[in-house]
Amino acid sequence: MQIEKFSEIIAHFVGIFETTTEEMRLRAELAEGRGPAENNPAFDDLVANTPTFASDLALQDYDPDVNYRSVSYEIVYGGARRFGRPFEESIEKLSEIAHRDVSLPRFGSPQDIDIGIETEEELQVFDGPGSAIRFTTQVNVLYDDDYLDMTGGNHAPRDTSFVVEKLAEFSAEAEIFSPFANLQRTDTLEGVKQIAGDMETYIQEIKDSGQTSLGTDEPPADNPNDQVHDFVLPGDEIPAGPYINGKLASEIPVLDDLLPDRGLAKLAGEPDETQTSVEQHDPAGSSLEVTAGANLVANIASVVNTAVISSVTAVMGDYHQVDAITQVYVYSDNDNISSVFHSSADAAENAGVTAYNIASFERDSFQSTQPQTTVDAHGDPIFPMAWRVSVIEGDVSFVNWIEQYHFVTDNDTMTVMTSGSETTVLTGGNTTLNFSSYFQMGLQYDLVIVGGNVYDINSITQISLLYDNDWARAEDGVDDGATIQSGNNLIWNLAAIHNVGANDRFEAMPDYMSQAEKGIQERDPTMPEGLSTDSNFQGYVGLNVLYITGNLFDMTIIKQVAVLGDSDDVTLAAAAILKNNPDAVVTIDTGSNTVANIAEIVDYDSFGNTTYVAGQLYSDAILIQGGIIDHDVSQPETAGERLANEVIAFLDDDSLQGGDSGDGVINGGHDLSWSSAHPSDVMQAVVA
């Protein structure tokens, strides 16, 4: 409305009105100091306008708006500008265009104009996936050497350092069965080549010598469990197992059926639905239950590797394929039990230690999903006519390195007696677990070209050490009838390597694969004719190709070490209350330990049936299984003033004699030193 325009004018110009008022005030003040008016010069052109004054400007109402008008021309943007060209080059382009009578736009670059000149087409490449390297070290250190005296007497504690020394000897005996336990973590070309070379050299020497054992003692003929064994099996491809303690078996035992009943953490039973109150009017019985063993240490590792898989792989260098499983256990279970005790029913049915080395090598062929239509409407076969190429400059590493360690000692010294009530003593029952699981999922390609070598290495090393020599004594005046369980231990080493990709898929390198590599290097978009007619690609409209200019490292290393010392010394003392309660029930368990190493590697090498190799093919596999039983007769001694560092005594490479174990250096990895780990049982020194 008109009134709104007036209000807008007033609002915008109120400042001008105030300024004019201020100027009038200043003029009045200045006029007071001026001279006579007639002295001022007169200007004829500033007098009032005469009636003849006229203007061609049309007066309009004020409109508070901003009108935008573009320039008189429009800029036509073409392709990307390329600035900074030499002046001479620009003149030449303009001259050439002028002779062709091509009209130019007013803006833009002459190079942005399509003048009908054909330019050379170049293959467009994309970035491929990067390397994936994982180093994992898991360590459990536990000292649970307890001392218990229920009599209130003066029984000197014993020195248990001999257990650690015996475990160190066991470790030295196990080295012959674990030649790959000292492999150093690496992801460099030199390191991987060193590992592959050492493993191939060792396996080749075993092949050439024709060895089936490593020269340790044969199992005794009177051993009913036949648990002592020395077995070596090298070859290009080991037949599918499983191999149990050096023998080919039809099936693997069920672990749940063999686990000792530790009597701990039992599943809750069904709740009682009755509403009847439970009352007991008879006095409580006199019983004593002692559990000094029942320890569980376990390493569990699983790796599934599908990093870079393809239907067809072309290797311009050598192909190294090495699979190795080494398993060894060493144990001693030579108990000294007084005649006062009699073995429990479980001990009568089970051996002192049941030990298993179980290994299997499996290989399957997995066919990639082929197109449903392999011929066109005319019945002619369909082959790819284009390709999409991804390039990785340099080497590519897919490394999974897992190391798991357990060092547990549970050497208990106890003097116990019945007290006329139900008494339960638990000084064992420790559980330590290391668990590691990897699932590496990458990209799938129709063709992978490797300009260098391929190193495909899978290795599992398992070492289990158990020392379970126990002593059960009875003082004078103790009645017969006490029950003891000193055996029923289980050692379980289970390893499996499962390769996906037939072992007979390797073929000589065709010429068109070399032409394809050269074409990618020169960025030639034309796919070689032989590649477009390869029978492996029938039915594909286009190919997804990965080109690695360097080497490909596909390496999975698993090392598992489980060490348990459970040497218990239990003395049953007589109590005066037994005279009034001769039916006391005494149960002692110093065994029921479990030492387990479980590892699995699933490696997807190929989805198809063809791998082209231009160089040499090195395919090796080896299985080593060893079991050693040590009938140690060491006797415990009273603890003296000498303090032993159990970790250094066990892991020091120097001899136990003639050296100070305090100077030992523990190498738990390049960047980890687990020798400084604190015991998990912070209350280990408390006298119960």
The band of 169, judged by pLDDT with boundaries at 50, 70 and 90, is: very high
State the amino acid at position 162 in one-letter form.
F
Give the model confidence (pLDDT) of 11-49 as tens digits. Answer: 666 666 677 777 777 766 666 655 555 555 555 554 445
Mean pLDDT of the chain: 77
d(CA 79, CA 81): 6
Residue 535: CB atoms within 10 Å: 8
The residues, ordered by sequence, that sit 6+ positions from 497 with a Cβ below 8 Å of its Cβ are 323, 325, 360, 361, 362, 458, 460, 600, 601, 603
- Write out pLDDT tens, residues 65-81: 766 665 544 444 444 44
Contact 328, 177 (CB under 8 A): yes
- 78-114 pLDDT per residue, tens: 444 444 445 556 556 666 655 555 444 444 444 554 5
Count the helices and strands in the chain (H runs, E runs): 9, 31
Q: Provide the edge-to-edge strand list for the sheet that holds 336-337.
A: 147-149, 413-416, 569-572, 471-474, 336-337
Tokens of 99: 């002779």
Sheet bearing 585-589, strands edge to edge? 341-343, 482-485, 585-589, 287-291, 422-426
Cα–Cα distance for residue pair 340/104, rounded to 1 Å: 114
Give the position of tokens 């039915």.
Answer: 539
pLDDT bucket at 324, cuts 50 / 70 / 90: very high
Which residues lie below 8 Å from residue 375, measured CB to CB, with a gap of 6+? Answer: 381, 382
Amino acid, res. 594: T
pLDDT bin (cut points 50, 70, 90) of residue 310 is confident
State how far Cα 635 lies from the chain centre. Answer: 43
Strands 431-450 and 296-315: parallel
pLDDT on residue 657: 44
**Cα-Cα-Cα-Cα dihedral sign, residues 338, 341, 342, 343:** negative
* Closest to 206 (Cα-Cα) out of 365, 330, 326: 326
- Residue 446 near residue 389 (C-beta atoms within 8 A): no
Nearest one of 673, 675, 647, 648 to 659, comparing CA atoms: 648
Predicted TM-score (pTM) of this structure: 0.74
DSSP structural state of residue 272: P
pLDDT at 358 over 90: yes
The least confident of 319-328, 345-354, 416-425, 449-458 is: 345-354
SS3 650: helix
pLDDT at position 300, please?
96
- List beta partners, residue 291: 426, 589
In our burial notation (b when 16+ CB lie closer than 10 A, e otherwise), range 216-249 reads eeebeeeeeeebbbbbbbbeeebeebbbbbbeee
How does pLDDT run across 479-499, given as a tens digit for each residue?
777 888 888 899 999 999 998
**For residue 375, what is the DSSP state?**
B
pLDDT, position 106: 41
Number of C-alpha atoms within 13 angstroms, CB side, residue 259? 13
Asked if residue 267 has pLDDT above 60, the reply is no
Nearest alpha-carbon partner for 632 in 565, 683, 540: 565
Instruction: Determine the pLDDT at residue 90.
Output: 58
448 — pLDDT class (breaks 50, 70, 90): very high
How far is 665 from 651, CA to CA, in rounded Å?
8
Amino acid at 580: N
Residue 208 confidence (pLDDT) above 70:
yes
DSSP string computed for 513-579: HHHHHHHHHTT--SPPHHHHT-GGGTT-SEEEEEEESS-EEEEEEEEEEEEEE---EEEEPP-GGGG
Lowest-confidence region among 50-64, 363-377, 674-688: 674-688
Residues contacting residue 479 through CB under 8 Å, at least 6 positions apart: 340, 578, 582
**To which residue do tokens 């030492």 refer?**
595
Is the pLDDT at 152 greater than 80? The verdict is no
d(CA 500, CA 365): 6
**Residue 424 pLDDT greater than 80, yes or no:** yes
| Res. 683: pLDDT tops 50 | no
Nearest to 115 by CA among 100, 129, 134: 100
Tokens read off for 48: 């009032």
CA end-to-end distance (rounded Å), the chain: 100
Nearest to 174 by CA among 626, 649, 655, 644: 626
